[in-house]
Chains A and B, each alone.
Chain A
Amino acid sequence: MRIFQKTNFNFIKHRKIAYAISSILLVAGLVSLFIRGLNYGIDFKGGSEVVIRFEKPVDVGAVRSIMEQAGVNGSVKQYGLDRSFLLKTDFQGDTSKLKALISNSLASRLPDNASQILSVQAVGPSIASDMKMSALKALAAALVGILLYVSVRFEFKFATAGVVAIFHDVLTVLGLFSLLGGLFDFMPLEVDQSIIAAFLTIAGYSITDTVVVYDRIRERLRGQKPSDYERIFNESMNQTLSRTIITSGTTMLSVIVLFIFAGPAIRSFAFAMFAGILVGTYSSIFVAAPIVFDWQTRSKSPIKFRGA
Chain B
Amino acid sequence: MKNNRFKLILIAVVALVSVWSIWPTYRDYALTQKLKSIRSAEDSLKFAIDNREAIEQAKDKSLKLGLDLRGGMHLVMEVDILDLVEQKAWNKDATFTRVMESVKKESAAESNANIVELVAAGFKKENIKLSRYFYDMRDSDQEIVSKLNGEAKDALARAKEIIRNRIDQYGVAEPVIQTQGSQRLVIELSGVTDEARVRRLLMGTAKLEFKLVKDPETLLRAIQRVSGAPLVAPAAPAAPAVTAPADSSMAAAPVAAALQPAAAGVKKLSDVIGMMPNGQVFTPEYARDQVTAVLNRPDVLALLPQDTQLLLAAKPELTAKGEKYFPIYLVQKTPELTGGVITEAKATFSAQDNQPEASMSMNDEGTSKWARITGANIGKQIAIVLDGAVYSAPVVQSRIPSGNSVINGIGSLEEAKDLEIILKAGALPAPVRILEERTVGPSLGADYIRAGLFSLVWGFTAVAIFMIVYYNKAGIAADLALVLNILVVISVLAGFSAALTLPGIAGIVLTMGMAVDANVLIYERVREELGEGKSLRMAIDAGYNRAFSSILDSHVTTLAAAFLLYVYGVGPIQGFAVTLMIGTAASLFTAIVVTRVLFDLLLGSKFMNEKSFG
Contacts and interface: CB of A to CB of B under 8 A. Distances in A.
Interface of A: 1-3, 51, 53, 70-73, 90-101, 116-124, 126-127, 129-131, 133-135, 137-138, 141-142, 145-146, 149-150, 153, 193-194, 196-197, 200-201, 203-205, 207-209, 211-212, 215-216, 219, 239-240, 242-243, 246-247, 249-255, 257-258, 260-263, 265-266, 269-270, 273, 307-308
A118 B441 CA distance: 5
A254 B255 CA distance: 46
Interface in B403-462: 433-441, 443-444, 447-448, 451-452, 454-455, 458-459, 462
A96 to B, nearest CB: 4
Nearest to A203: B561
Nearest to B552: A308
Contacts of A137: 568
A142 B560 contact: yes
Contacts of A119: 438-441, 444
B305 interface: no
A308 B548 contact: yes
Q: Describe B's contact surface by its main secondary structure.
A: helix
B545 to A, nearest CB: 10
A279 to B, nearest CB: 16
Contacts of A200: 561-562, 564-565
Contacts of B89: none
Given A243-B521, A257-B509, 7 more contacts: A2-B470, A91-B253, A138-B564, A149-B560, A197-B503, A208-B558, A262-B505
Contacts, number: 264
11 contacts: A93-B251, A99-B195, A119-B441, A134-B569, A138-B567, A150-B557, A193-B572, A201-B562, A246-B520, A253-B459, A254-B459
Going nearest first, the 3 A-B pairs with the smallest beta carbon separation are: A93-B251, A204-B561, A254-B513
A95 B437 contact: yes
Given A134-B570, A138-B568, A261 B451 contact: yes
A270 B576 CA distance: 13
B301 interface: no
Contacts of A194: 503, 572-573, 576
Contacts of B217: none
A182 to B, nearest CB: 22
Interface in B558-586: 558, 560-562, 564-565, 567-573, 576-577, 580
B556 to A, nearest CB: 6
A71 B441 CA distance: 24
B14 interface: no
Majority secondary structure, A binding face: helix
B248 A211 contact: no
A87 B451 CA distance: 22
Interface string B98-138: 00000000001001100000000000000000000000000
Nearest to A128: B436
A253 B338 CA distance: 65
Contacts of A146: 557, 560-561
Nearest to B108: A126
Contacts of A273: 510
A262 B506 contact: yes
Contacts of A123: 435-437
A296 B571 CA distance: 44
A216 B433 CA distance: 56
A116 B455 contact: no
Given A137-B568, A204-B558, A257-B459, A251 B254 contact: no
A159 to B, nearest CB: 11
Contacts of A209: 554
Interface in B521-549: 521, 524, 527-528, 546, 548-549
A245 B102 CA distance: 59
B576 A197 contact: yes
Interface of B: 68, 76, 78, 108, 111-112, 195-196, 199, 248-258, 433-441, 443-444, 447-448, 451-452, 454-455, 458-459, 462-463, 466-467, 469-472, 502-503, 505-506, 509-510, 512-514, 516-517, 520-521, 524, 527-528, 546, 548-550, 552-554, 556-558, 560-562, 564-565, 567-573, 576-577, 580, 614
Contact of B510 (A72, A219, A258): A258
A261 B455 contact: yes
A71 B255 CA distance: 7
A120 B439 contact: yes
A124 B466 contact: no
Given A119-B438, A265-B502, A247 B549 contact: no
Nearest to A216: B550
Contact of A93 (B252, B552, B553): B252
Contact of A239 (B437, B513, B528, B549): B528
A254 B512 contact: yes
A201 B250 CA distance: 37
Contact of B438 (A120, A145, A207, A258): A120
A17 to B, nearest CB: 27
A94 B251 contact: yes
A220 to B, nearest CB: 11
B436 A97 contact: no
A273 B507 CA distance: 11
Contacts of A98: 254
A6 to B, nearest CB: 8
Given A1-B469, A93-B250, A263-B448, A211 B520 contact: no
Contacts of B503: 194, 197, 266, 269
B569 A91 contact: no
A208 B517 contact: yes
A246 B560 contact: no
Given A101-B255, A149-B557, A208-B557, A121 B462 contact: no
B560 A254 contact: no
Contacts of B549: 215, 307-308
B517 to A, nearest CB: 4
A124 B435 contact: yes
Contacts of A250: 463, 466-467, 513-514, 516-517, 520
B250 A262 contact: no
Contacts of B505: 262
Contacts of B471: 1
Given A252-B513, A263-B451, A96 B199 contact: yes
B444 A120 contact: no
A145 B524 contact: no
A254 B510 contact: yes
A275 to B, nearest CB: 14
B254 A71 contact: yes
B570 A193 contact: yes
B452 to A, nearest CB: 6
B458 A266 contact: no
B17 to A, nearest CB: 26
Nearest to B558: A204
A117 B550 contact: no
Contacts of A252: 513
A138 B564 CA distance: 6
Contact of A122 (B196, B437, B516): B437
A258 B458 CA distance: 9
